[in-house]
Amino acid sequence: MTEGTKRRIEAHRADFLAYAVRCPFDGTVVGPRFVTREHADVPPDPPYAATVRCPKDRELFEVVFRR
């Protein structure tokens, strides 16, 4: 992840699951439907992050779930 801060955002997992998280590029609401990859390699509460593709501008970014 060296493409800039917009490529990694933080959110509460509950907000993400409820489609209350927005794409950092254009503000489009994103959620589980747009996940391309989940990162589950850190215990105890996987997934701790997910890679998401915005359905509108097709930007790829990572959502890191706050604890």
- Positions touching Zn ion (CB under 5 A) are 23, 25-26, 28, 54, 56-57, 59
How many CA atoms within 13 Å lie on the side-chain side of 60?
A: 6
Residue with tokens 């493409």: 3
Smallest gap from residue 15 Cβ to Zn ion (A): 17
Smallest gap from residue 26 Cβ to Zn ion (A): 4
Q: Which is nearer to Zn ion, 45 or 57 (CB)?
A: 57
- List all residues 6 or more positions away from 31 whose beta carbon is below 8 Å from its beta carbon: 16, 17, 18, 19, 21
Smallest gap from residue 59 Cβ to Zn ion (A): 5
